Homo-oligomer: A and B are copies of this chain.
Amino acid sequence: MSLSNLTVDGDRLIHRLEELAKIGALEGGGCCRLALSEEDRQGRDRVVGWMRDLGLAVSIDGIGNVIGIRAGSEDGPPVMVGSHIDTVRTGGIYDGCLGVIAGLEVIQTLNDAGITTRRPLAVAFFTNEEGARFAPDMMGSAVHQGFLDLDEALAVTGIDGTVVGEELQKISYCGDAETGHFRAHCFIEMHVEQGPVLDAEGTAIGVVEGVQGISWTELVIGGVSNHAGTTPMRMRCDAAVVSARIAVEARSIAEDMGGDQVATAGVVEVAPGLVNVVPNRALMTVDLRNTDERLLQQAEARLFSYADKVASDEGATIERRTLARFAPVDFAPEMTDLIEKIAKGQDLSTRRMPSGAGHDAQMFAPNCPTAMIFVPSRDGISHNIEEFTKPGDIQAGANVLLHVVLEKAES
């Protein structure tokens, strides 16, 4: 059979997804397999079992990342695919798992066709991508690619008071493979979009050009509490008005800048919170994201200077604290071009887009050619038991993944 006609078995892929989803299954759908929990152990055991069934050589490293290697006709760094199988507390069954299971499906397709690639192939799942129990998120891939110290990660205490290293021992996934040095030939992560764009447009494949840079800022505004009836407007110092102006400006910044810029005021807390008292305190957050670091800095500068100005105009104090700041990650044009070419060759509609969320792939991007393939999320819903991607979309994405892997493994 010709390589170019090779296709994955979508039913088989979805069957594995559904099998994995039974572990930690939630009433009404979705999954709860928090990182390093008993459910995570059972999920890991299931995937490792499939890896072994497929003939992969399984290794486990010091932070519990699992890699299954399929030998090539030549030695050298593998073409690597992967993602994660941990979930948030009320997660869907696709987030993360799809990238891992699609990788296994690629392997099985090649096994069934009797194809040995030139370069080795690898399918991986990384520990604690979600960060729902232990911070930071993308912990396993960060340690794997040398951006987070192993001992530091093992010492992390979770929201339930448990410690990563101890929980890893408890589920018997503290392996001896070294961390921080592994270099793949390239890395490809297939993932559900977790946003509404592809679904709304009816586009099959998102060609992910990078991960948006993230800037999280907390603003605490201090005003003066006063009687809402007896205090003339000219004598007010209203923390909530300052906060409201900043929230409106954040929206304007995103609209004025256009492109990939987004802005969200997700937290707004006002005190004392009484109908007839001028608020003396407002706490708010602004989440700014852009794929372009220069533009992200522009957005920050505009927001911060506006916030200082409106607080000062009101006579209010303002304190600013950075809660998180990550620079944008660019994926390799050679990889995105290849994904786009292959998708188009399969008559699939494509859109180049950024990822608004963080993914394991971004830890590989500085070290090897990296990219991601997005498939549509119904209504953009994710981190929710309602998360859904149509079987046809999954199959289409996995076929693109298959041929990207083949192309990279042979070239």
Q: How far is the CA of A265 from the CA of B236 in the complex (A)?
A: 12
Among B196, B261, B270, which residue has its beta carbon within 8 angstroms of that of A226? B196
Q: Is the CB of A264 within 8 A of B235?
A: no
Residue in chain B with minimal CB distance to A228: B264
Q: Is the CB of B196 within 8 A of A231?
A: yes
Residues in A207-232 with C-beta less than 8 Å from chain B: 212, 214, 216, 226-232
Binds B, one of A174-182, A242-250, A331-339, A392-400: A242-250
* A113: interface (CB < 8 Å): no
A-B contact pairs, 24 of them (CB 8 A): A193-B230, A195-B229, A197-B232, A200-B235, A216-B275, A226-B380, A227-B380, A227-B382, A228-B262, A228-B266, A229-B262, A229-B287, A229-B289, A230-B355, A230-B382, A232-B262, A238-B251, A240-B265, A244-B265, A244-B268, A266-B276, A266-B277, A268-B273, A275-B287
Q: How far is the CA of A126 from the CA of B274 in the complex (A)?
A: 26
- A354 to nearest B CB, angstroms? 9
* A323: interface (CB < 8 Å): yes
* A149: interface (CB < 8 Å): no
Q: Is the CB of A233 within 8 A of B247?
A: no
Q: How far is the CA of A269 from the CA of B268 in the complex (A)?
A: 7
Q: Is the CB of B380 within 8 A of A231?
A: yes
Q: Is the CB of A244 within 8 A of B248?
A: yes
- A88 to nearest B CB, angstroms? 12
* A327: interface (CB < 8 Å): no
Q: Is the CB of A264 within 8 A of B238?
A: yes
Q: How far is the CA of A134 from the CA of B264 in the complex (A)?
A: 41
Q: Is the CB of A228 within 8 A of B195?
A: no
Residue among A194, A227, A245, A263 with the highest chain B CB neighbour number at 10 A? A227
- A151 to nearest B CB, angstroms? 29
- Given contacts A226-B196, A247-B240, A268 and B268 within 8 Å (CB-CB): yes
Q: A279 to chain B: which residues have CB within 8 Å?
A: 265-266, 268
- Given contacts A244-B244, A268-B268, A269-B273, A287 and B228 within 8 Å (CB-CB): yes
* A103: interface (CB < 8 Å): no
- A240 to nearest B CB, angstroms? 5
Give A337-357 as 1s and 0s: 1 = Cβ < 8 Å from B's Cβ atoms: 000000000000000000111
Q: Is the CB of B255 within 8 A of A247?
A: no
Q: Is the CB of A230 within 8 A of B285?
A: no
How many copies of this chain does one complex carry? 2
Q: Is the CB of B273 within 8 A of A267?
A: yes
* A254: interface (CB < 8 Å): yes
- Given contacts A243-B244, A247-B241, A248-B241, A230 and B266 within 8 Å (CB-CB): no
Q: How far is the CA of A244 from the CA of B244 in the complex (A)?
A: 4
Q: Is the CB of B227 within 8 A of A254?
A: no
- A256 to nearest B CB, angstroms? 10
Q: Is the CB of B278 within 8 A of A266?
A: yes
Given A248-B248, A264-B277, A266-B273, 19 more pairs with CB closer than 8 A: A194-B227, A194-B230, A195-B227, A195-B230, A196-B231, A216-B276, A228-B266, A229-B357, A233-B255, A233-B262, A240-B247, A240-B268, A244-B245, A244-B247, A266-B270, A266-B279, A267-B274, A267-B275, A275-B285
Among B197, B276, B287, B289, which residue has its beta carbon within 8 angstroms of that of A235? B197
Q: A216 to chain B: which residues have CB within 8 Å?
A: 275-276
Residue among A231, A244, A285, A355 with the highest chain B CB neighbour number at 10 A? A244
Residues in A158-214 with C-beta less than 8 Å from chain B: 193-197, 200, 212, 214
Among B230, B235, B264, B277, which residue has its beta carbon within 8 angstroms of that of A278? B264
Q: Is the CB of B275 within 8 A of A266?
A: yes
Q: How far is the CA of A8 from the CA of B266 in the complex (A)?
A: 58
Residue in chain B with minimal CB distance to A358: B229
Residue in chain B with minimal CB distance to A285: B275
Q: A255 to chain B: which residues have CB within 8 Å?
A: 233
